[in-house]
Structure 1
Amino acid sequence: MSAFTYEIHDRNTEEFRRLLSMSAKKSAGNFEQAFFRAIEDHAREIAAISEAREAPSFTNTIRALEASGASLSEVSRAFAVLAGTSTTPELQALERKIYPVLSRHFSAISLDPKLFGRVEAVAKNVNEMAEASPQARRLTARMYKRMMRAGAMLDKADRDRLADIEARLSELFTAFAQNILADENAWFLELGDDDLAGLPAWLVSSLQNAGAERDKAGAVLTLSRSLIVPFLQMSERADLRSVAFEAWTRRGENVGPSDNRPIMAEILKLRTLKARLLGFETYAAFKLEDQMAKSPDQVRDLLMRVWKPARARAAADAAILQSIAENEGVNRPLAPADWRYYAEKRRRAELDFDETALKPYFSLDRMIAAAFDVANRLFGLTFEPVSNLPIWNDDVRAWRVLRADGTLQGFFLGDYFARSGKRSGAWMSVLRPQHKMGEGQTPVVYNVCNFSKPHAGEPALLSLTDATTLFHEFGHALHGLLSDVDFPSLSGTSVSRDFVELPSQLFEHWLTVPEILDRHATHIETGEPMPRELVAKLLAARTLDAGFDTVEYTASAIVDLDLHENAGDNPNPLEIERESLRNLGMPEAIVMRHRTPHFAHVFSGEGYSAGYYSYLWSEVLDSDAFEAFGEAGDPFHVETAERLLRHVYSAGDSEDADALYRSFRGREPDPAALMRKRGFSHRAA
């Protein structure tokens, strides 16, 4: 980290330090005390609003509710940082204890009939709403609908039953996520010298570093995606690839205390009960009613339109890979553990492209600089490092984010390396959302990734997939950082789930813009930019395995939808998964991207449940949105970037997502843009 240090004078920076101190220093015991104090404070605030004698108004009801619970939100966000990135048995025990308490607390608020009556009165006050600002009307409508969807209109017996369901679900979500982490932490494979055949030096170094972290003398393979995916691509040992792939795909499905099979069955059963209480036939119907897609049929239509050409492409690719394997003397059908290995051989044969040749050009530091450069060119942001901060791990980096006029936009943090006790995957979240209520506040946003950490003194080198992940999560971060709304509930990424991936997936496109590659994809030793011929191979290789990529993702999205449409009263999730894949004609050599027992998107919370399709729905939008820059003839076209900022990155949930997109693009999105991006069709001449 740079030695640059800010003098702490302004209120925002002092607040930033205080928030970091909360996430960095609190023990489980201190967090527990802070949680219960904050819950009591919030309950008193809610009681004052609910029992108020004054006639309900936007100010004394809606705005008051929006301002309530500030300390509880702060404690929850600080705790989430540690629980996700630096967990301990004590923190996991507190998760299991506190999340059901929080569920009961928020259910009591959502199901309070007096409070709902006041919210409803404001929402239906035609005169007051006519005089309110557009964002005040939006906030009121959203709050009213959220309470209705939470069960506020049910009778007392059903409200109590729903609160019981929500509390139990919170317990199950925590257990599901902790079980995945337990399986990932427990499994490792020690590798001798004979086991490293085919592995490039950078991967061997990362495996040795993983061994050192586990106090092993040699190389160790773990279930970190940044290790296991390149191992599956490059290891010449089919037996080891098979062992590793089996462990990777069976997370959460092992007999013992980390078995997620009974947990996901109970989750599905409770979700079905919840949906029926709220008047919906299935949980999928309930969940999608409030999204852009609106219905399971709309989602299934999109998924199947993509599935058919993707499966056909994958079948043709499988035949090519089978032929490569047979030419090497492999006399058996292509197995899922083989696909990445022979796909890598195909890339080298057809395109003369070795993905390991990219690694020296994709150092972590240069890719961070590239993402910052794109944000500067599009939105005028600059990022200045801040040091000497109380941060939860020494590897975390922090930046102060400034607008073009030098004023403060917010703060950004990056936690990039895998380590024990850290949840797998990559994500963006906030320690503090932007809003303009009262004195207002600037956002504090962070990204978490799980890249392989190099040996001390060595640069961190990323794969193309890793670099894309960095850009993806930074796109989410910009959605939070650039937010410019009045109320925290409308801030940043608080949008419908099938719109939230637009800013992140769209930002990925700029990684391979030639200007960005020329400036930032420079060789770690020579400083020379990536050769043009290597850039051309990179671009050609992006769609070479598009059938595989699309099949493994779309199968997961369809299974997710089937799980939440077909669960019934006594669900058998693995049987639903098998039946769904049989009906699809899933290629035998491909496994869904997230098998059900470790499908954290779906079973560790409500966010992507019946909503994993969102990435594809948003990809229609991001493909079409980036074509707007192509039509303008400039990937950094000023007017297009200004529209993008105004109607997407800064708009939060200030309007319906489809209206925001139309305001940016000037029309509805073109679904064919998705097929062009994935290489399944081409723009007409």
Structure 2
Amino acid sequence: MTNPLLADWTTPFEIAPFDAISDDDFAPAFEVALAEHKAEIAAIADNPEAPNFANTIEAMEVAGGALDKVLSVFFSVAGAESNPARQELQREFSPKLAAHGAEISSNKALFGRIATVWEARDSLDLSAEQQRVLMLTHRGFVRGGAALEGDADARMKEIKSRLAVLGTEFTQNLLADERDWFMELAEDDLEGLPAFVVDAARAAGEEKSAGGPVVTLSRSLIVPFLQFSPRRDLREKAFAAWAARGANGGETDNRGIAAETLALREERAKLLGYDCFADFKLETEMAKTPAAVRELLMAVWEPAKARAEADGAVLTEMMHADGINGDLEPWDWRYYAEKRRKAEHDLDEAALKPYLQLERMIEASFACATRLFGLEFKELDVPLYHEDCRAWEVTRDGDHVAVFIGDYFARGGKRSGAWCSAMRGQAKFPKVQGPVVINVCNFAKGDPALLSYDDARTLFHEFGHALHQMLSNVTYESVSGTSVARDFVELPSQLYEHWLEVPEVLAEYATHAETGAPMPEAMLKKVLGAANFDQGFATVEYVASALVDLAFHEGDAPADPMAKQTEVLASLGMPRAITMRHATPQFAHVFAGDGYSSGYYSYMWSEVMDADAFEAFEEAGSPFDAATAKALETHILSTGGTVEADELYKRFRGRLPGVEALLKGRGLAA
């Protein structure tokens, strides 16, 4: 029988036929598709015709279609619905893919053809997008080591292969620690917890077959437990397990992986002629240099640290008033911050949550996209990889735009966090194809599912990424959607978060789970008034992580990353009751792959832009101003990576932003 991964998909909108695919299909399909891509690359490299844009660059755009199909399905399920078979396949595929990529990037005949087209670019009558694709292709090969010879070439291949293995191991170790640990709760231990936390703990206990409620290391459960549990001993135990992920010794310990990864990245950069990995990595980003990144982060660090220290003093007094002497600890901060928020803003998370139903927040995110961009959403009945997943067809003026898939609930086989990916990107070459976009989150299940305000913000954030994919309108898939500079890619997602805070959006969609009543105006004002509450804490934990990431890659690779982490935090005067948002052994952004390595700062770089970009709507007099929304789509959301990011932003806003709007938005301005 034909392998369903390799067959033509006759499903609606050519969505992967998940109901026909088994784990046994992946390995044989991968081998066939890999061999096919190798043959396609060889045909391009060995083409006897003189190289031109069509037979070299466009041919490379088309090559690997079968492999892309197989991998888009595999990596979607490997991240969101992992099992031992898929983990083993991931360990098997990763080095093969790395070797395959290194083989392509070091193919001298292929690079010779690309270089020939590049050198003749001014005489080829290429469109602006074609010139951009040619430049990115040539640059990517040079940065991938195509110009290396002999031992350097061979060593680069070894480094890439090893890094792929290490990234997979890091991810799987972290998943194992998060999956395997849980803390059983007796009925007395539930005292003081709001109903939504109790319900989530009971649901987690059922999933773990624990016979009662449990706390797991899913952020959607452990964070509210740390916020609400009056049991300091249980908070300390849960926090210790959360902080120890990836650093528990034994087979799942990530500290050695981090050290080896950093050493290999430094060696890779030096093979290519760079002083350090950060110089190499940032060259193609908006920031360009480590110095520019550090300047931004330090401009935010000082006011954030001052705010956090002042807040910490208040929380310490509250703890002492409870009869607990000594210092405020990391497992105390969220608990006393929540009590303070309730006291100062009269905002009770437990009272707020029933107004933030998952279903209504999905509707809100869709409704804003309808008002801003004219998109319509119709739910589809199609087989997907898990029963929790849902799909919608996205249209505009009756025309198909995209398929959007939502996978919202936490479960044991899903890696932590939230992310957006395209199972198929938008393109017009070699044929017109609409994107298939997926948002994956880790919200606690419930009936109905209720979100924290932070959860709701995450939902809007990931949907902002999805809009970047769905509204893409370019010719070549390699520059479509989110194929942009890393420190630009978070702009659409972080900008979209602002619409959650638009009062008329909350007034319409924040309705009570039991009564259906809209959020009372007084509560709405409290929610918006408390939007910047505890921003000192949030900013410090984030910026500390970004500065540690930068320090790891800015100079010589540290032999002991944990010692380097300690050194950096000490030099910053890190408040003792706040930890890094992602400590090194669980810093998947940085060590699960190269994606955010020396690039974790990019969320804040993008926030500088998103704060300024939303001001464009405010200046126009409405968060739904049609002309501003059109400009946003025209200059940013539809253009993918066809133009340099700073130029795109200037086309939208007329100038580049400063840090002032960010500090104002976080309530950190003097």
Q: One fold, TM greater than 0.5?
A: yes
Residue 439 of structure 1, CA deviation: 2.2
Residue 14 of structure 1, CA deviation: 3.9
Contact in 2 for aligned 1:378/1:641 (Cα 8 Å): yes
AA of the residue aligned to 2:664:
R
AA of the residue aligned to 2:602:
S
Q: Distance between the aligned counterparts of 1:27 and 1:551, measured in 2?
A: 45
1:519 equivalent in alignment to 2:508: yes
Of residues 258, 261, 265, the one that matches 2:259 is: 265
Give the SS at the match of 1:673. helix
Residue 104 of structure 1, CA deviation: 0.6
Of residues 451, 469, 473, the one that matches 1:462 is: 451
Q: Distance between the aligned counterparts of 2:11 and 2:482, measured in 1?
A: 22
Q: Distance between the aligned counterparts of 1:137 and 1:496, measured in 2?
A: 17
> 1:60 maps to what in 2?
55
Contact in 1 for aligned 2:9/2:15 (Cα 8 Å): no
> 2:468 maps to what in 1?
479
Give the SS at the match of 1:20. coil
> 1:408 maps to what in 2?
400
1:390 equivalent in alignment to 2:383: yes
Q: Distance between the aligned counterparts of 1:438 and 1:145, measured in 2?
A: 23
Residue 106 of structure 1, CA deviation: 1.0
Indicate how the Cα distance of structure 1 residues 24 and 161 shifts in structure 2: closer, same or farther if over 3 A, else same: farther
Indicate how the Cα distance of structure 1 residues 656 and 127 shifts in structure 2: closer, same or farther if over 3 A, else same: closer
1:372-417 deviations in Å (ceiling 9; x for gaps)? 0000001000000001x121001101000001x1100010000000
AA of the residue aligned to 2:667:
G
Q: Distance between the aligned counterparts of 1:463 and 1:114, measured in 2?
A: 55
1:556 equivalent in alignment to 2:556: no
Q: Distance between the aligned counterparts of 1:632 and 1:670, measured in 2?
A: 20
Give percent identity, aligned residues only: 52
Q: Distance between the aligned counterparts of 1:475 and 1:113, measured in 2?
A: 40
Residue 24 of structure 1, CA deviation: 5.0
AA of the residue aligned to 1:165:
I
Q: Distance between the aligned counterparts of 1:380 and 1:626, measured in 2?
A: 19
Give the SS at the match of 2:37. helix
1:678 equivalent in alignment to 2:670: no
Q: Distance between the aligned counterparts of 2:450 and 2:586, measured in 1?
A: 28
Contact in 1 for aligned 2:286/2:488 (Cα 8 Å): yes
Indicate how the Cα distance of structure 1 residues 385 and 327 shifts in structure 2: closer, same or farther if over 3 A, else same: same
Q: Distance between the aligned counterparts of 1:567 and 1:401, measured in 2?
A: 48
Q: Distance between the aligned counterparts of 1:442 and 1:16, measured in 2?
A: 12
Q: Distance between the aligned counterparts of 1:119 and 1:15, measured in 2?
A: 37
Contact in 2 for aligned 1:567/1:573 (Cα 8 Å): no
> 2:436 maps to what in 1?
444
Unaligned runs of 5+ in 1: 1-11
Residue 595 of structure 1, CA deviation: 0.3
Alignment of 1:31-430 (within 5 A): 31-129=26-124, 131-387=125-381, 389-403=382-396, 405-430=397-422
Give the SS at the match of 1:317. helix
1:275-321 deviations in Å (ceiling 9; x for gaps)? 10011111111100110000000000000010000000000000000
Q: Distance between the aligned counterparts of 2:329 and 2:122, measured in 1?
A: 66
Indicate how the Cα distance of structure 1 residues 382 and 13 shifts in structure 2: closer, same or farther if over 3 A, else same: farther
Contact in 2 for aligned 1:20/1:392 (Cα 8 Å): no
Q: Distance between the aligned counterparts of 2:420 and 2:549, measured in 1?
A: 22
Of residues 599, 618, 643, the one that matches 1:655 is: 643
Q: Distance between the aligned counterparts of 2:643 and 2:418, measured in 1?
A: 28
Residue 18 of structure 1, CA deviation: 4.7
Contact in 2 for aligned 1:560/1:612 (Cα 8 Å): yes
Q: Distance between the aligned counterparts of 2:584 and 2:55, measured in 1?
A: 45
Deviates more, 1:110-119 or 1:363-372: 110-119
- Which contiguous aligned blocks of 4+ residues in structure 1 show a shift greater than 6 angstroms? none
How many residue pairs match? The answer is 664
Give the SS at the match of 1:498. helix
Of residues 543, 547, 551, the one that matches 2:536 is: 547
Contact in 1 for aligned 2:195/2:350 (Cα 8 Å): no
Contact in 2 for aligned 1:272/1:283 (Cα 8 Å): yes
Give the SS at the match of 1:263. helix
1:566-608 deviations in Å (ceiling 9; x for gaps)? 443x621001100000000000010000000000000001100
Give the SS at the match of 2:433. coil
AA of the residue aligned to 2:332:
D
Of residues 627, 638, 657, the one that matches 1:669 is: 657
Contact in 1 for aligned 2:304/2:536 (Cα 8 Å): yes
Q: Distance between the aligned counterparts of 1:422 and 1:124, measured in 2?
A: 46
> 1:6 maps to what in 2?
none
> 2:624 maps to what in 1?
636
Deviates more, 1:141-150 or 1:530-539: 530-539
Give the SS at the match of 1:257. helix
Q: Distance between the aligned counterparts of 2:296 and 2:213, measured in 1?
A: 44
Alignment of 1:582-661 (within 5 A): 582-661=570-649
Give the SS at the match of 2:250. coil
Give the SS at the match of 1:607. coil
1:505 equivalent in alignment to 2:494: yes
Contact in 2 for aligned 1:429/1:446 (Cα 8 Å): yes
AA of the residue aligned to 2:85:
E
> 2:3 maps to what in 1?
none
Residue 232 of structure 1, CA deviation: 0.3
Contact in 2 for aligned 1:17/1:390 (Cα 8 Å): no
> 1:9 maps to what in 2?
none
Contact in 2 for aligned 1:417/1:453 (Cα 8 Å): yes
CA-based RMSD of the aligned residues comes to 1.3
Give the SS at the match of 1:588. coil
Give the SS at the match of 2:378. strand
Residue 668 of structure 1, CA deviation: 1.4
Q: Distance between the aligned counterparts of 1:176 and 1:199, measured in 2?
A: 34
Q: Distance between the aligned counterparts of 1:135 and 1:212, measured in 2?
A: 53
Residue 25 of structure 1, CA deviation: 4.3
Residue 677 of structure 1, CA deviation: 0.5
Residue 343 of structure 1, CA deviation: 0.3
Residue 216 of structure 1, CA deviation: 2.1
Residue 438 of structure 1, CA deviation: 2.5
Contact in 2 for aligned 1:283/1:564 (Cα 8 Å): yes
AA of the residue aligned to 1:652:
G
Contact in 1 for aligned 2:373/2:630 (Cα 8 Å): yes
AA of the residue aligned to 1:55:
A
Contact in 1 for aligned 2:316/2:327 (Cα 8 Å): yes
1:515-552 deviations in Å (ceiling 9; x for gaps)? 11111111112222111111111112121201000000
Give the SS at the match of 1:414. strand
Q: Distance between the aligned counterparts of 1:559 and 1:464, measured in 2?
A: 28
Residue 430 of structure 1, CA deviation: 1.0
Q: Distance between the aligned counterparts of 1:126 and 1:150, measured in 2?
A: 21
Q: Distance between the aligned counterparts of 1:186 and 1:16, measured in 2?
A: 38
Give the SS at the match of 1:446. strand
Contact in 2 for aligned 1:24/1:393 (Cα 8 Å): no
Q: Distance between the aligned counterparts of 1:174 and 1:85, measured in 2?
A: 14
